Amino acid sequence: MTAAEAIGQARAMRPGCGIEEERLKDWLRRQDGEIRARIVLPGGAEGYGETGADLLGAQGLADSAALLVPFPFDGMYPHYLCAMMDAALGENERYAGEMTRCNALLGEFAAWLRRGSRPPARQVKW
């Protein structure tokens, strides 16, 4: 999923929300940075070095930038953006619902990574 796709889906879910696009991109950068630090790097997953909104930092996030979490788990991005919009607007119940959806997809992604990057079997001698 690209940054533009995530923002477009979130805007469709929250029509009329006046949050600036730069703020939404900043939230995407933070989310990818947290995912990389807490899920991808500790597990040693390979293939995630070139993608992610967090890598673009101060130079800006292009609309075509690929986000870190792949399909089918990338549906968490619109839910995350909606949750952040809801939090910014004081919609606490909507925030809680969106974060529940986001965290469920993020948990599935983390479990998928763990299953795919198991350490090599060790030779144990008794």
At 86-118, the pLDDT tens digits run 999 999 999 999 999 999 999 999 999 888 765
Structural domains of the chain, count: 1
Does residue 121 lie within any of the structural domains? no
pLDDT of residue 43: 61
Q: What is the DSSP letter of 58?
A: G
Q: What is the DSSP letter of 122?
A: P
pLDDT of residue 118: 57
Does residue 69 lie within any of the structural domains? yes
| C-alpha to C-alpha distance for 124 and 59, rounded to whole angstroms | 49
Does residue 123 lie within any of the structural domains? no
The model carries a pTM of: 0.84
Residue 10 lies in domain: 3-115
Q: Calculate the average pLDDT of the chain.
A: 86
Does residue 104 lie within any of the structural domains? yes
Does residue 103 lie within any of the structural domains? yes
